[in-house]
C-alpha cells in the first residue's frame, strides 16, 4: 500500500530524511517513532505529496506521489502536525468545506459529517468557531476531517497530542477500529501509543530507520538476554557470587547484600529457616558462616532458542535453582525492557 525506496529529503543544508526505505501492507497499523527532528513529519509530508522527495521513490498503491498527486490525495486521509484549521470557520463549516473538497454528493456529505462528528465526539462544539476550541477539540476536528471520506489510507501526525487521558483512550480506540479495515501510519514520540496501537514500529533517528519490527521483537533483539529481579536469603558465607551457580547465567547487576532482620522461627523448619531462627536467638554466638543475608540483584539469563514463553521457563529455572540450593526465594520478577529503554538506547546521541 505504502512504499518508500531509498528516500532522501533535504531542506537547504538540513538533511531531514536520509535513505529511508520501508513498505506497509494493506490493513496494517504502523507507528513512526522517534525523537523530535528525527524525520517523522517529513516522511508523512512526503507521503501526502505536500513535499516531494529530493531523491528516491515514494509510492502509494503503486502510484508515484509526485506523478499522480490527485489520485493519491483522494485515497488518503491526513491529519497534519498540530491539526491546522481555518480559524474563522465553525467545526461544521470546516467539515462541510472538506466534504465539498472531496466532491461528495450533498446527501452523502450530511451522512459522512454526522458519522465523523460522532466518531470524534464533536457534537457539543459543532457550531463553535474553530478559533474558540480547546487543543483537544481542534485535534479531534482535524481527525474528523481525515476520516470524513472513509479513506483506505490514514496518515496521522501525532494524533493524540494535546488530548487528555480519557480522550487519548477514545481516539486510540477509534484508530484501532479504523485500523481493522484501513492502512494506518501514525507518528508519535509517545512509546505507550505505539505499544497500544501499532502492529509494527519504525524507530527513526536523525533521518534514518534505527529499528523496525513489533514492539516486542525490537525489545527482544535489543535485550539479547532475559532479565529477572531476584532476592534470595542465603548464608553469609555463600553471599558473595551466589548467582554464579545459576545455570545459564549471563551476568548479574546491582547486587546488594543486606543483613536479614531476625524474626520468629517458622513452624516448618528447613535447613535455612532453622539457621535464621538460631541467628535470631543468639546473634552474638552465630559464627559468620552460619549467619544469613539477603542478596538482591538483577540477573540476566541466556535465552535458549527453544524457549517459547521465556518469562515462565526462565522463572521456573531460577525457582528450581533456589530450591535445589536450599535458598529462600523472596522475590522473583521478570524485568521487561520497555520500548522507552530501547528508544533511549537507539537514539542516544
Binding site for another protein (CB under 8 A): 11-12, 45, 48-52, 66, 69-70, 73-74, 76, 78, 80-82, 84-89, 93, 97-98, 100-103, 145
Cα dist. 57→20, 53, 63, 211 in Å?
10, 7, 10, 21
For residue 251, the cross-strand partners are 300
Q: How far apart are CA 230 and CA 244, in angstroms?
A: 13
Helices and strands of the chain, counted as H and E runs: 12, 14
226 touches 334 (CB < 8 A): yes
Closest CB 139 distance from another protein, rounded Å:
13
Closest CB 42 distance from another protein, rounded Å:
12
Measured from the CB atom, the residue of 98 and 218 that comes closer to another protein is 98
Tally Cβ neighbours within 10 Å of residue 181.
11
For residue 47, the cross-strand partners are none
Closest CB 93 distance from another protein, rounded Å:
7
Measured from the CB atom, the residue of 85 and 233 that comes closer to another protein is 85
Q: How far apart are CA 216 and CA 199, in angstroms?
A: 10
Closest CB 243 distance from another protein, rounded Å:
56
Measured from the CB atom, the residue of 97 and 319 that comes closer to another protein is 97
57 touches 4 (CB < 8 A): yes
327 touches 232 (CB < 8 A): yes
Measured from the CB atom, the residue of 48 and 160 that comes closer to another protein is 48
Nearest Cα neighbor of 155 from 258, 42, 261 is 42
Measured from the CB atom, the residue of 76 and 163 that comes closer to another protein is 76
Closest CB 158 distance from another protein, rounded Å:
13
For residue 9, the cross-strand partners are 17
Closest CB 48 distance from another protein, rounded Å:
5
Measured from the CB atom, the residue of 135 and 173 that comes closer to another protein is 135
Instruction: Record the cell numbers describing residue 13, joined without a space.
Output: 543544508
Measured from the CB atom, the residue of 73 and 208 that comes closer to another protein is 73
Closest CB 335 distance from another protein, rounded Å:
43
Nearest Cα neighbor of 172 from 153, 151, 158 is 158
Q: How far apart are CA 223 and CA 217, in angstroms?
A: 10
Burial 6-29 (b: 16+ CB within 10 A, else e): ebebeeeeebbbbebebebeeebb
Closest CB 61 distance from another protein, rounded Å:
14
Measured from the CB atom, the residue of 51 and 337 that comes closer to another protein is 51
Amino acid at each position: 500500500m505504502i512504499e518508500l525506496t531509498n528516500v532522501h529529503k533535504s531542506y537547504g543544508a538540513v538533511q531531514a530524511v536520509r535513505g529511508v526505505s520501508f513498505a506497509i501492507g494493506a490493513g496494517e497499523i504502523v507507528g513512526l517513532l522517534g525523537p523530535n527532528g528525527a524525520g517523522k513529519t517529513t516522511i508523512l509530508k512526503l507521503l501526502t505529496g505536500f513535499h516531494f522527495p529530493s531523491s528516491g521513490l515514494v509510492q502509494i498503491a503503486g502510484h508515484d506521489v509526485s506523478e499522480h498527486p490527485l489520485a493519491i490525495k483522494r485515497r488518503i486521509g491526513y491529519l497534519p502536525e498540530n491539526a491546522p484549521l481555518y480559524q474563522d470557520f465553525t467545526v461544521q463549516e470546516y467539515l462541510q468545506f472538506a466534504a465539498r473538497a472531496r466532491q461528495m454528493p450533498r446527501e452523502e456529505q450530511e451522512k459522512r459529517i454526522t458519522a465523523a462528528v460522532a466518531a470524534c465526539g464533536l457534537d457539543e462544539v459543532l457550531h463553535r468557531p474553530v478559533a474558540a476550541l480547546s487543543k483537544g477539540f481542534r485535534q479531534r476536528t482535524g481527525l474528523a476531517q481525515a476520516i470524513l471520506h472513509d479513506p483506505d489510507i490514514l496518515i496521522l501526525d501525532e494524533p493524540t497530542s494535546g488530548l487528555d487521558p480519557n480522550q487519548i483512550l477514545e481516539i486510540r480506540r477509534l484508530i484501532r477500529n479504523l485500523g481493522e479495515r484501513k492502512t494506518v501510519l501514525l507518528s508519535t514520540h509517545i512509546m505507550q501509543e505505539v505499544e497500544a496501537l501499532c502492529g509494527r514500529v519504525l524507530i527513526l533517528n536523525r533521518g534514518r530507520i534505527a529499528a523496525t519490527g513489533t514492539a516486542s521483537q525490537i525489545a527482544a533483539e535489543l535485550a539479547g538476554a532475559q532479565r529477572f529481579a531476584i532476592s534470595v536469603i542465603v548464608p553469609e558465607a555463600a553471599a558473595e557470587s551466589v548467582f554464579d551457580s545459576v545455570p545459564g547465567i549471563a551476568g548479574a547487576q546491582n547486587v546488594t547484600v543486606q543483613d536479614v532482620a531476625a524474626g520468629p522461627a517458622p513452624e516448618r523448619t528447613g535447613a535455612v529457616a532453622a539457621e535464621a531462627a538460631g541467628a535470631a536467638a543468639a546473634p552474638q554466638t552465630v559464627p559468620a558462616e552460619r549467619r544469613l543475608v539477603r542478596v538482591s540483584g538483577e540477573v540476566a539469563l541466556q535465552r535458549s532458542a527453544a524457549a517459547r514463553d521465556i518469562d515462565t521457563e526462565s522463572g521456573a529455572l531460577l525457582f528450581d535453582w533456589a530450591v535445589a540450593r536450599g535458598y529462600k526465594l523472596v522475590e522473583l520478577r521478570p524485568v521487561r525492557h520497555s520500548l522507552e529503554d530501547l528508544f533511549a538506547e537507539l537514539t542516544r546521541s
